[in-house]
Structure 1
Amino acid sequence: MLTNKSSLKRRLQIVELVRKRGEVSVEELSQAFDVSSVTIRSDLTYLEQQRYLLRSFGKARYLAQKKGDDMLVPASDGTTRKSSETMIARFAAERVGDDEALMLGAGEIIHKVVPFLSDRSNLSLLVQDIGIAQTVQRFMHCELLLTGGQLEYGTTALTGPDAEASLARRPIDVCLLQACGLDRAGNLFAADHALARVAHAAAQAATRTIVVAYQPLLDERSGEVFASVHDIDTLLIDDGIDPPTLDAVSRNGLHLQRRDNGILEFRRNGS
């Protein structure tokens, strides 16, 4: 039996966070709730016994009741993820106007933005990802340039000094970047050092920076920092984020402007 109200509140929040994200690691939960991993494991043991979630290899997985059955099965979030990423992409496109110079970084959500820009007129696009450039050619009629740089084996994103330098040579009204992580200090992470350097250069060069993310990792080892929430103008993210991280977003000057279908849109005043 739970005798500590703070423990009860934390365990309810853990269930809600795992439900929204599908799967969360012990380390992420420890960071999110500022308690030890031993405490989190105790919480997860209790919640597994109560059949709220399933523990597996240092992670907690959400369990959904299978209709007409007593068995609990892991919830499938593939369809939800696609729908949420598409919604984030649509909201991001709404932040881009006609006649703007736009830089598109790398990432699946960034790729999904492209069709939503097809009705914009007189856009100028600087694109980092070759795959995204091919989609631009299918959906849009506009000026299209690649950043240049080098391709790492198995990727379609251009990185390196040439890619970074190209961002300083052209005026950029808006850059769209995708984050894989967000910590409680408000730092935004890219998957590796090379991607982070290009994203950082883009954010430095652009007049406005929009960052998108779906279920970003919430610990401090999620990749390489490319910017702080303090330095961007808009953050579009799913609502499966723990309260301390959301507080960090607000502390860094972004304010919640819209909550729609599980998506949160934060903007800086006047942006």
Structure 2
Amino acid sequence: MLANKSSLKRRLQIVELVRKRGEVSVEELSQAFDVSSVTIRTDLTYLEEQRYLVRSFGKACYLAQRSGNNVVIPEVDGAARKAWETAIARFAAEAVDDHQSLMLGAGDIVHKILPFLSDRANLALLLQDIGMAQTAQRFVHCELLLTGGQLEQGATTLTGPDAEASVTRRSIDLCILEASGLDRDGNLLCADPAVARVSEAARRAAARTIVVAYQPQLGEHDGEVFGNVSDIDALLLDDGIDPETMELMQSKGLQFHRRESGILEFRKSTA
């Protein structure tokens, strides 16, 4: 479970202090926050697992940021990114049950979900990306439909008013969409405005919505809004997010669950 608010606030302050000073000892942190060294070590273990800092000989050391942004984890290569995306896709597929009407939006992570649906029975699958159709036919036993709509030259994603209307008319048990970023109000962003409009229509039409993303950057104007984290049922990410993003999720009432392979799941509270 996510730490309580006082613990989360302290941990965010620890990251900021270590960032400013480069490294800080356990004893110094214990005195600065007026808590025991055991509590500080627990905090540091959590923050190291989240890749916000590293521990070395009784000290917390800042994990250098990438130049040009606020992400506090090392740059990963293409193979590592694909592994993260596949892990996210695997956990997203767990939410799909037999006999469901499922809409899959556009995106690399969403595409990777399809092989994990090979053992599902009697799915009604609606796709926005015609590039996914061949994968779906190979792996999934289902009724397969496309949204229809416009297809720009060189693209595989269907967009436009016809695609939006097609989604709106359907009964969708679950839709899984992909975000490219978040803004500071918790809005989910898509880099392509036309894709974002179809995603918004799908989110509104579906009984449940799950959003997947790889290291979504917390920015202001990096895409078109298709929903808010408070509007969806779950958000699945890799662990390359900064403390501010973690705090944002809590402020929106989402519960935190760490899955295997370092995948982070934020769920709508059922309380």
Pick the TM interval, shorter chain: 0.7 to 0.9
1:136 counterpart SS class: helix
- Tell me, yes or no, if structure 1 residue 136 matches structure 2 residue 140: no
Q: Which runs of 5+ in 1 are unaligned?
A: 22-46, 65-74
Deviation per CA, 1:132-152, whole angstroms, max 9, x where unpaired?
Answer: 111101111210000000112
Conserved? CA contact 1:189–1:222, under 8 Å = yes
Distance in 1 between residues matched to 2:251 and 2:69, nearest whole Å: 29
SS for the counterpart of 2:217 is: coil
Equivalents in 2 of 1:60, 1:269: separation in Å?
28
- What secondary structure, in the 3-state scheme, does the structure 2 residue paired with 1:212 have? strand
Query: Residues 117 and 7 (structure 1 numbering): CA distance in 2 closer, same or farther, change over 3 Å?
Result: closer
Whole-angstrom distance in 2 between the partners of 1:253 and 1:53: 28
| Residue matched to 1:193 | 193
Moved over 3 A (4+): 5-8, 10-13, 50-55, 58-64
Alpha-carbon contact 1:183-1:245 (below 8 Å) kept = no
1:117 maps to: 117
1:10 aligns with 2:19: yes
List gaps (5 residues or longer) in structure 2.
Answer: 1-13, 24-46, 53-60
Normalising by structure 2, we get a TM-score of 0.75
- Show the 5 A alignment for 1:159-170: 159-170=159-170
Amino acid at match of 2:241: I
Per the TM alignment, residue 52 of structure 1 is displaced from its structure 2 partner at its CA by: 4.5
- Deviations along 1:105-131, one digit per CA (max 9) or x if unpaired, are 000000000000110001000100001
Structure 2 residue identity aligned to 1:84: W
Cα deviation per residue 1:30-86 (whole Å; 9 max; x = unaligned)? xxxxxxxxxxxxxxxxx9xx994674xx4689898xxxxxxxxxx552222111100
Q: Distance in 1 between matches of 2:211 and 2:258?
A: 15
Aligned partners of 2:71 and 2:241 also within 8 Å: no
Q: TM-score by structure 1 length?
A: 0.75
Question: Which range is displaced more, 106-115 or 184-193?
Answer: 184-193
Distance 1:238 1:163 in 2: 30
- 1:174-201 CA deviation, whole Å, 9 max, x = no partner? 0000000012211100112101100000
**Matching of residues 79-98 of structure 1 within 5 Å:** 79-98=79-98
Provide the rounded CA distance (Å) in 2 between the counterparts of 1:131 and 1:249.
32
Cross-structure match for 1:223: 223
Please give the residue correspondences for 1:22-171 in structure 2 after superposition, counting only pairs within 5 Å: 52=64, 55=67, 58=68, 76-171=76-171
Residue number in structure 1 paired with 2:250:
250
**Secondary structure, in 3 states, of the residue corresponding to 1:245?**
helix
**Conserved? CA contact 2:177–2:199, under 8 Å:** yes
How many equivalent residue pairs? 226
Aligned to 2:176: 176
